[in-house]
Amino acid sequence: MEIMNKASSAKRFPAEHFLNRELSLLAFNRRVLGQAADAGVPLLERLRFLCIVSSNLDEFFEIRVAGLKEQIKLGAVAPGPDGLTPHEAFRLVAAQAHNLVEEQYALLNDAMLPALDKQGIRFLKRSTWNEAQTAWIRDYFFREVMPVLTPIGLDPAHPFPRVLNKSLNFAIELEGKDAFGRSSGAAIVQAPRVLPRVIRLPAAVAGAPYGFVFLSSVLHANVGELFSGMNVLGCYQFRVTRNSDLWVDEEEIKNLRLALQGELPQRHFGDAVRLEVADSCSEVMTDFLLQQFALGYEDLYRVPGIVNLVRLMAVPDLVDRPDLKYPPFQPGLPKVLAKNYDVFASIRKQDVLLHHPYQSFSPVVEFLEQAVDDPSVVAIKMTVYRTGTDSILMELLMRAARQGKEVTVVVELMARFDEEANINWASRLEEVGAHVVYGVFGYKTHAKMLMVVRREDGEKGSALRRYVHLGTGNYHPRTARLYTDFGLLSCNEALCADVNEVFKQLTGLGKASKLHHLLLAPFTLHDAMLAAIRNEAANARAGKRVRIIAKMNALLEPEIIEALYEASQAGVTIDLIVRGACALRPGIEGLSDNIRVRSVIGRFLEHTRVFYFYADGEQKMYLSSADWMERNFFRRIELCFPVLEPKLKRRILKEGLMPCLADNTQAWEMDGDGAYRRKRSRKKRFSAQESLLAELPAAPAKD
């Protein structure tokens, strides 16, 4: 409770010092849309970026907009750090979101679909179908679609159905009477999720190498078959987005896993926050739908196309055109990890730094796999935040438990949108005898750590030695090929002792002990970061050389931002590489003259958290699971670990920070009002990600 009070009672700073979080997130999605508009990006990858914007907006409405609407419903009037009340923030967010969606569909319809058509990738509109296409689609409807549809006529016996979150639905306007003499005038058809939203036609029928038709078009063309003898006046696709944040009462919960299992089904039916309809939808039907979902016109998004662009994400995988995609690459390995390496012997030689996705995630899998099969290993402990529904790491942990090793897994059940997968893994792990704990209720366990305890012979006889892996990203092999992250393999005794202490705190009870190297949220991380920033400011005032470089996903915590302002005013040069939301205003005269903020948006999702402080020549370098956000500092269990080896510090500076600062191709620079300008240079083109792809996978890194 003391920690929570610290977060909630932090003193207020001038509102003009801060940008709005939600507007900053929308600005991030506009940068992602910039990738979709970039002719230098392969065409099918541009389509992926367009879909990513839609996926991001879904979560934005499910969580961030839902939160604003919940505050408004509860009558909250207190302003945020930026001085905006929930009402004011919502109005601005709605306006910006509508503009962004308009830009997105304009890009799709006016640029991307014509460009795809020129490449033989065609999306067939109903108005253009020829006789053969119409016949094929009609046959497909009767074979694959109609048998699984359940049209629901709206009358007193059939009220408006419960509509699943983000599902595809059709509102039908009808004329006439049915077999029972009913004439309600309206019906709802819900498209089952088993049906593909994008259907590929045979090339001979499509008239193109890759011809696709949308499920919505298939249903529109044949909807009359569902209402025989009646006249269909209109068929309109719609989609509703709902509040998807889960909430459980700490005082009432006896078993968190059972409580979440009960709550998860309700996520699909939370309060509606957004209605998307086809732009052809009649005013009468639009008003009817808004009324059914208790939404206003500011929540309505009329779109000139399919209402769920996320479904287009399947298209690049259905098209065999390598020339329209990013070239494949093979992740490299550090030099110390030679072919057929003994992972424990390699770690004993030196700490091993892995830079994903340029370097392979396989050493982490190998670390665990060798631990499972090694008779000298007696115990394995691991945290799990996101790992996926099919995870080789979880399978290995289960195998270790079956073999009689002591396996302890801290599973975060409240990992948003991964709750169901994590509950399933927790159940399976328990079934094979692993010790499964859920961390500390009220604090998400977001730390990424894996520890192996091995019995080894030494000069003084047999003894236990600990090995650890610490990372900035999740234990998820698939995303390790898409996200940039650092991981460290080490057997440093003090570092391993710290990790062991953190596991003790997570699985048992007792006071927090002092750690040698690790910074741990919610206890020491916030104060340590403030101290490091203020130390640079003090050194600047003393005339010493100073520098701060910090890379993260989000920068929002007010006290940290104020400390950065003070350091800037003291003369500290501060470079911030913030992928997503940033509430700090850079480059404001007298406030943040020496602060530069940039965001790098490219092939990979920039996910690394790196904090560098010159520290009077000591050059402190930290890797972390935590962003500089209030939730990470005060409501999560996070690790921030120092990189102790000088050569590894240099590697992180060379690979993780300096390339992002030099990027003049995929970097965006932020101004004091929160607007971003894409960094373009007449000098030689330089992309951080492309440069690292050319260097790291090609040859072993020099550790």
How far apart are alpha carbons 516 and 187 in whole angstroms?
Answer: 66
Q: Please name the amino acid found at residue 198.
A: V
Contacts of 556 (CB under 8 A, 6+ apart): 21, 581, 582, 583, 627, 628, 629, 630
C-alpha 67/C-alpha 60 separation (Å) is: 10
Residues 346 and 408: their CA atoms lie apart, in Å, by: 25
> In one letter, which amino acid is 72?
I
Confirm whether 446 is a catalytic residue.
Answer: yes
CA distance 635 to 193: 35
Cα–Cα dist 47/316, whole Å: 8
17, 355, 446, 526: which one is catalytic? 446
The helix or strand, by DSSP H or E, that contains position 670, with its residue range, turns out to be strand 667-670
- Whole-angstrom distance, CA of residue 331 vs CA of residue 158: 56
Q: Which amino acid is at 672?
A: G
Do residues 476 and 391 touch, judged by C-beta distance below 8 A?
A: yes
- Return the exposure string of 425-438: e unless at least 16 CB atoms fall within 10 Å of the residue's CB, then b: bbebbeeebbebeb
3-state secondary structure 125-152: CHHHCCHHHHHHHHHHHHHHHHHHCCCE
Distance CA 507, CA 150 (A): 49
**CA 340 – CA 287 distance, rounded (Å):** 66
Task: Transcribe 524-590 into DSSP letters.
Answer: THHHHHHHHHHHHHHHHHTT----EEEEES-B--HHHHHHHHHHHHHT--EEEEESS-B-B-TT-TT
Please list the residues that pair with 451 across neighbouring strands. Answer: 381, 468
Contact between 485 and 473 (Cβ < 8 Å): yes
**Is the Cβ–Cβ distance between 45 and 325 less than 8 Å?**
yes
Query: In three state form, how does the secondary structure of 451-467 look?
Result: EEEEEEEECCEEEEEEE
Give catalytic residues, as residue numbers.
446
